[in-house]
Amino acid sequence: MSSLSLLYLMCQTPGYSQRKMGMTRRTFLMELARKKGFRVESELSDSVTHIVAEKNSYPEVLDWLRGQGVGDSSRFELLDISWFTACMEAGRPVDSEMKHRLMEQGYSPPLNIPESEALPFVASKVSQYSCQRKTTLNNCNKKFTDAFEIMAENYEFKENEIFCLEFLRAASVLKFLPFPVIRMKDIQGLPCMGDRVRDVIEEIIEEGESSRAKEVLNDERYKSFKQFTSVFGVGVKTSEKWYRMGLRTLEDIKADKSLKLSKMQKAGFLYYEDLVSCVSKAEADAVSLIVRNTVCTFLPDALVTITGGFRRGKKTGHDIDFLITNPGPREDDDLLHKVVDLWKKQGLLLYCDIIESTFLKEQMPSRKVDAMDSFQKCFAILKLCQPRVDNSCYNTSKNIDMAEVKDWKAIRVDLIIAPFEQYAFALLGWTGSRQFGRDLRRYAIHEKKMILDNHALYDRKKRIFLKARSEEEIFAHLDLDYVEPWERNA
């Protein structure tokens, strides 16, 4: 049993019209606390030392205590549900800090309280644009954002862009919050909190999970699309076609001999188990060394930068993106072809598809926030050799031939070639996150009358292209505070 004193979870207060903690939720929370080793009383008694209330103010709790015949309330710790939640997450009693205590109206915390605790979070100052927020990987609201991303993905599969973006924007806002949402008033005043989003949040607060997200996870169409799109080279359009043909699983696809798979899709199925598994930071570093050494063989002064999630500080990913440019006068239009030819000779290349550049000089930036750029690219699958696993890991009674044990892993690698004058724009775009990039372009259009893409920034009022040699200069052109790569995890 935890060393916590006895506590009492305050239920709905009679006489108040606002919705408080209901009996069902109170019972759920009491059982949760007991499972964690806490002792909870069903009725108020002399042994109770902590009273936890949800959506009740300090005066309401005092009124309730007087109604229970309690004259002196000072013997109780009067606490908000946030304290209870913190205890449940820690699995032990936590300090009843000032931020968790119910206070008299007008009470001012002592001056020695840290500013982060003394000052309330001002929701009205949170921007609708993630490019004006600094979002690290420290997500305090994962139970909400996970549900939102399931909902968004389902709407993406249905090609309902409006509802998809509604949930993605809401997830982005909650990822930014420096505290966990534990009650509906925590999201009051925040942007991107529409009715659909609020319904999901309220249900998770009250029930611990979202029934709507659960329904999506159990939906046959969603499950099929989730499987299909996990294959390299398969998108929503192909998934829709297969689903309409009556196909439901990857086994169905493999068994249907009438299907004509593209070269990319064939590679996707051939190396499926490797490609669907996460790429570790160590694997990304190993591939990075291969890419840099190969590129510099042909272009010694080239800059090779890892982008995507790994540049934003993630420890895992599903592929590795590299942006390549040459700051010197020498350029090599055949660089990608030379790189893949060398990898073929070295036995490292399992698949590649080179897309030639379609960029035109003085081309206007795209107004579409999700538009693909026109750089020369190579979508490849590399064979990353790995140390053999120790024989002791295997049961020799199963007669496993160690010569047949696979000592390499297929890794998805994207190479993007950007001219040096466009490098800063390409680096910003390919670093992500996807939502950060979307909001940055929306901000440029709606707030600054500019058009931004991975190639350039165009000022529509001045009718000029704005040059930038670094990401910092692009932010400065947009009158935005610079956001570090690891703060763009929106």
Residues catalogued as catalytic? 319, 321, 414
161: CB partners within 8 A, 6+ apart: 155
CA–CA distance, 116 with 179 (Å, rounded to integer):
11
Q: Is 479 exposed, middle or buried (0-12, 13-18, 19+ CB in 10 A)?
A: exposed
Residue type, 42: S
Query: Is 301 part of any known ligand binding site?
Result: no
Other CB atoms within a 10 A radius of the CB of residue 260 amount to 7
Side by side, the strands of the sheet bearing 408-417 are 303-306, 320-325, 408-417, 376-385, 349-355
Give the separation between CA 116 and CA 102, rounded to whole angstroms: 18
Any known ligand binding at 319?
Answer: yes
Residue 482 CA to residue 476 CA, distance in Å, equals 8
370 belongs to an annotated ligand binding site: no
Q: Is-contact 408 383, C-beta < 8 A?
A: yes
**CB-facing half-sphere around the CA of 469: CA atoms within 13 A:** 1
Please state the residue numbers annotated as binding site for Mg(2+): 319, 321, 414
Please state the residue numbers annotated as binding site: 319, 321, 414
